[in-house]
Amino acid sequence: MIYAGIDEAGYGPMLGPLCIGCTAFAIDAADHSQGVPNLWRTLSRAVCKNVRDKKHRIAIDDSKKLKGAKSATSHPLTRLERGVLSFLLTKSELPTTDQEFFERLAIASPNEPWYDSTTLLPLANDPNQLRVSCARLSHTFYNAGVRCEAMKCAVIDAGEFNRQISQMHNKASVNICCIMRFINGLWKRWPSDDLRIVVDRQGGRTRYLEILQLSFEDAQIRILGESPSESRYQLCCGRNTMKLSFLREAESQHLPVALASMIAKYVRELRMLRLNRFFQEQMPALAPTAGYVKDARRYLAQIEPVIDRLGLKRSELIRTV
């Protein structure tokens, strides 16, 4: 079984990118007649949901629950970073910069001047402790017959976001089209496996048949269920089958979705570090922003002289919706 999860971060802000994370796990001994396994239980020797775990396991959960407050004594990204980099370490070496990290996730380099800097990694964790966490996770993977096969993130910066909005007319379409590209990529990579994909559902949409038909023209699509909480589908193309769920609060029920949420949030936070660094170099007293609408308006009013002086393109910096 290939068990994948997709989730986003940055759907609503005015500044910074929309990030959509995707993870996929191979499970050797899965019961194909049943639903997907509970990977928190399967991997419980190494992972948990509790942020204050006495066994020092890796916390994997909705990214909003793992990001710390600015007023906390520890770095607000400590838990997010530990989870993301520990899983990444099972696949490759520890990245030493955010640029290396972006490349590992197949993220293209941004062109905008406010992203033209580099952040050393890890930000908030000791590299040796991350390697210890990874070793424990890798051992647990081996004993459980589980492998983390994919960790990716799509980054749609403000300029590209605005261009897509002009074509699609709403941000929900921008989001779902990116999700469909991930789903298509997963099916192409594992066409003959038992592929199960869970997507965290955004907004009030409960019916996805039409967009699935447009995205997978050659597939036979069967509705397994559509309700206010979950929409489930089976797609068949020849002998190849995929089961797909769009689920409210999926990150609380499916570990691959929770990890995708963490990846998307961590990537967005690293991008916002670059953006804030650029403008703070121009205005040292400037307070940083997370990019959400109310504070973004304050931030934009303060950096207006910098935008004018440097001739920065507002359409590349500021989302239109």
pLDDT in tens, 168-221: 888 889 999 999 999 999 999 999 899 999 999 877 788 999 999 999 999 999
- pLDDT at position 70: 72
- pLDDT at position 267: 98
In angstroms, the CA 77 to CA 80 distance is 5
Q: Which two tokens stand for residue 118?
A: 């580099």
- pLDDT at position 96: 97
* Sequence-ordered list of residues with C-beta below 8 angstroms from that of 30, at least 6 positions apart, any chain: 1, 3, 36, 37, 194
Residue given tokens 């991350």 in the structure block: 130
First to last CA, the chain: 39
b/e per residue, 88-108, with b = 16+ CB within 10 A? bbeeeebbeebbebbebbebe
Per-residue pLDDT of the chain (321 residues; tens, 9 = 90+): 999 999 999 999 999 999 999 999 999 987 777 789 999 999 999 999 988 899 999 999 999 999 877 766 789 999 999 999 999 999 999 999 999 999 999 998 888 999 999 999 999 999 999 999 999 999 999 999 999 999 999 999 999 999 999 998 888 899 999 999 999 999 999 998 999 999 998 777 889 999 999 999 999 999 999 999 999 999 999 888 999 999 999 999 999 999 999 999 999 999 999 999 999 999 999 999 999 999 999 999 999 999 999 999 999 999 998
In angstroms, the CA 226 to CA 28 distance is 30
Helix (H, G, I), strand (E, B) or coil at 58: strand
Best CA proximity match to 123, nearest among 69, 79, 64: 79
- pLDDT at position 35: 84
- pLDDT at position 71: 62
Domains in the chain: ranges and CATH: 2-274 (3.30.420.10)
What DSSP element (H or E) covers 197? strand 195-200
